Structure 1
């Protein structure tokens, strides 16, 4: 049973992106759960192990297999069932283990921003004591990599998903839009000549790739670069900022 659960933000996968508080939490954890996401994604588990090793943690490492979503279900039901199954697998992974301290999970980016680990943790029964250790977000890593302020002077920023961008187009009245969780390069659906894009993948890692420019000029190049990188590594994590051109 998981009595105490720590959700530790690890940034975009580089040990340098984990805060001192995050490293201390890893050292103090008794058990660390590490998901394995299937063929072609072994690098994701390797990155987690690299961060654990860098922290000097002596925690017991327990792997578990990550479930996949059922594509035949409606989106909301698909995600809800997926979250239920992830929670079940956390509990199954530690069943029979004599846990004498906190159980930790390493969460990409920050657990509070476009991530469902907190919601999944709240599904556990009995509900554990949950502690969240914030991490570097992909947004911070992206703007830092491009030496770019997130907002214009006194300007708003909207954070959304690729799905919403595809379904609803450019948000009305938006000036700057950050797009996350976009596996389909949804900027291709925008028929606008006044947008600039700053894009990045594997942010903060040695494999980091950046591109930027007027969307109409660089969209096809980014799509090609993204596909080649995904084929080479077996996975990709990327995000981008779109802005109206002034």
Structure 2
């Protein structure tokens, strides 16, 4: 008997796919440069708003989206890697996937943060460059355009390959639940709350995060 469980609430799903689109947009506009940098900054501010939202949603969001639910100890991740699985490993993020998600969020935060302090010395500078030293701007620019970009692209590639591996090799459908929210499970599991009030609360929360990102974008004009 299979149980249909709502694992990913709508706000989490929208966050995920919006982040995917923004990261693609950042890579494309960053490579094109020139006038496309206007959109590069816009995508960057959107990612900032999304990250702020995800940080807050990790404490008040759906059950399986909360950090306290899906983050696991390194020891548990190692046990999972050795093939010792727990029942909840198959519901939300498995232990390895959880650490991958955390790494992705941290790298994105570092990339956005360094971008806010970067200066191409031609036409575009982040809104925080005026508040830090020249040495910090130089370091942030180097990280943003070289180290951070490579690390992020490598992790994204690893993430995609992991999805392909689990889909093809282990026959686990990871993408469909991130589209419609539900998983078919062999045993019952707590469902994520995903009612109209949850969604309205998430919309209000994202509005506040978007306002914070907009305020950051205007700091260079103050």
Q: Calculate the TM-score normalised by the size of structure 2.
A: 0.27
Q: Normalized per residue, which structure has more helix? A: 2
Decide which structure has greater strand share: 1
